[in-house]
């Protein structure tokens, strides 16, 4: 039996957290959790999060996600023109 030597391929998504309040300075945990859960249900995995401080002094919550490309998502293997 021949063993397939296939390199895993991933796509990445960067999103910002939902904020609340008059100044939009507080992370809306419930809304952000709903978004991340929804993405997780369709195969996205949270791999990193951080707070980015803009030049205005306001903080923005950034979330980096990834999911594996494969035969269940045809046509996405050549995302952005990267092909083997």
The answer to whether residue 17 is domain-embedded is yes
Residue 17, helix vs strand vs coil: coil
Domain count, the chain: 1
Q: How confident is the model at residue 22 (pLDDT cuts 50, 70, 90)?
A: low
pLDDT > 70? residue 75: no
Residue 2 forms part of a structural domain: no
Q: 81 in a domain, yes or no?
A: no
Split at pLDDT 50, 70, 90, the class of 67 is very high
Residue 78 resides in a domain: no
What is the pLDDT confidence band of residue 4, given thresholds at 50, 70 and 90? Answer: low
Enumerate the H helices of the chain as residue ranges.
29-41
pTM for this predicted structure? 0.71
Answer yes or no: is 54 within a domain. Answer: yes
Determine the structural domain holding residue 47 and report its residue range. 11-64
Residue 3 lies in a domain: no
């Amino acid at each position: 039996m021949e063993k397939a030597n296939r390199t895993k391929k991933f796509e990445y998504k960067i999103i910002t957290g939902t904020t609340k309040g008059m100044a939009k300075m507080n992370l809306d945990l419930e809304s952000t959790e709903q978004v991340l859960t929804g993405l997780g249900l369709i195969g996205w995995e949270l791999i990193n999060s951080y707070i980015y401080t803009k030049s205005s002094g306001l903080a923005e919550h950034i979330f980096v996600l990834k999911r594996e490309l494969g035969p269940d998502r045809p046509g996405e293997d050549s995302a952005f023109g990267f092909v083997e």
